[in-house]
Amino acid sequence: MSAVVQLLLRRLGISLIVLVGVSMLVFGIARIIPGDPARIALGPNATVEQIAKLRSSMHLDESIVVQYGHFIKDLSRGDLGMSLYTNRPVTLDIAEFLPATLELVIVAGLLMIGIGLPLGRWSARYRGRLADHVIRLVSLLGVSAPSFVWAVILMLLFAFFLPLFPIAGRISDTYTIERVTGFLLVDTLWAGNFQAFSNALWHIVLPAFALALSGIGQAARLTRANMIETYDKPYIEMAQAYGFSGRRIANRFAFKPSLIPSLTIIGLDFAAMLGNAFLVEAVFAWPGLSRYGVAVILRKDLNAIIGTVLIISATFLLVNLIVDLLIAFLNPRIRHSQRQTS
């Protein structure tokens, strides 16, 4: 069995254990926080009999251990229960709202990688010069403010003062797109409607950039620090002595070794965007899973809360698994260590 397959199986086993732990933790917290979900769902005018009937259907009148057993039994069938917020199965709600958040996070992640890594590489190459100082200042500004602050600033600058971008939603109401994947950028291309694709892309620019700014600054700062450390290695001095150009040394000899530690932080930042997206989604009225999660928490919708947290946790673990595999692919020493420990 190859080292990469062993690493994959090991990480999958750990991820499964983590998901079980997360489900137990969230299930317990959701049950002990103040408030009766049945009374909240039915409203103040509900009778005692109506509340008791709903509590019985939700197994709230049983012990928490029995409730968790019912939850695991339903989960094994792919059933997350009914949402008291939307009166629909939680799986349908997740299927509707998750693609919007994933699309936003993916675009933000691409911006983080596509802008942050080149900025860090450029800053390290021109260390101590004007370009380095400017990039370091911009990176510091990016990480010094949370995403929702940047969301408000970008909206004020580029939607009100300079009305260049739309401020709400995923696409204009004039377009009717058949839902295939739930990712509007994909569905509009699938339908061959390039005007709708351009409109959807225009809607996602500001929220994705607001969500990515902190990660861009983090990626640039970390890449710069790693590359500066790599520039002090003997093989870099040898490459300089052989007369290689500065661009070739930066791209071929300094950037790739510096990318390995940067990938770990970038992966964590990318996964963290799923949790941070709810504030950006609230500012831009983005109909995503994070915004849905906040709404169900305020209404103590137990099934929807647990389903949302489990999906976000599973996505977080999946991103970390992909990052681990990429690092193992880029670093032969990790593959060798996997063979030695097997």
Residue 174, SS3 per DSSP: coil
Provide the CATH topology of domain 90-298: MetI-like fold (1.10.3720)
Q: pLDDT at position 83, please?
A: 86
Q: Which residue has the tokens 């010094």?
A: 144
Q: Which two tokens stand for residue 254?
A: 């300094």
Residue 311 to residue 30: CA distance in whole angstroms:
16
Contact (Cβ atoms closer than 8 angstroms) between residue 332 and residue 121: no
Q: Which two tokens stand for residue 218?
A: 């983090």
Q: How many helices (H) and strands (E) does the chain have?
A: 16, 0
Q: Which two tokens stand for residue 148?
A: 């929702």
> Could you say which DSSP state residue 161 is in?
I
AA letter at 54 = L
Residue 15 to residue 19: CA distance in whole angstroms:
6
Contact (Cβ atoms closer than 8 angstroms) between residue 302 and residue 28: no
pTM over 0.75: yes
Residue 75 to residue 68: CA distance in whole angstroms:
10
DSSP string spanning 216-270?
Answer: HHHHHHHHHHHHHHHHTSHHHHHHHHTT--HHHIIIIIIHHHHHHHHHHHHHHHH
Residue 99, SS3 per DSSP: helix
Q: Which residue has the tokens 């692919």?
A: 329
Q: pLDDT at position 272, please?
A: 79
Cβ atoms within 10 Å of 148's Cβ, excluding its own: 17
Q: pLDDT at position 337, please?
A: 52
Nearest C-alpha neighbor of 324 from the set 256, 253, 267: 267
Domain with CATH 1.10.3720.10 in the chain: 90-298
Q: Which residue has the tokens 């260590």?
A: 337
Q: pLDDT at position 266, please?
A: 80
Q: pLDDT at position 203, please?
A: 92
Q: pLDDT at position 334, please?
A: 55
DSSP string spanning 49-89?
Answer: HHHHHHHHHTTTTS-HHHHHHHHHHHHHTT---B-TTTSSB
Residue 240 to residue 110: CA distance in whole angstroms:
32
Contact (Cβ atoms closer than 8 angstroms) between residue 40 and residue 300: yes
Residue ranges for the chain with pLDDT beneath 70: 1-4, 41, 242, 251, 253, 330-342
Cβ atoms within 10 Å of 96's Cβ, excluding its own: 17
Residue 68 to residue 59: CA distance in whole angstroms:
10
Contact (Cβ atoms closer than 8 angstroms) between residue 24 and residue 32: no
AA letter at 202 = W
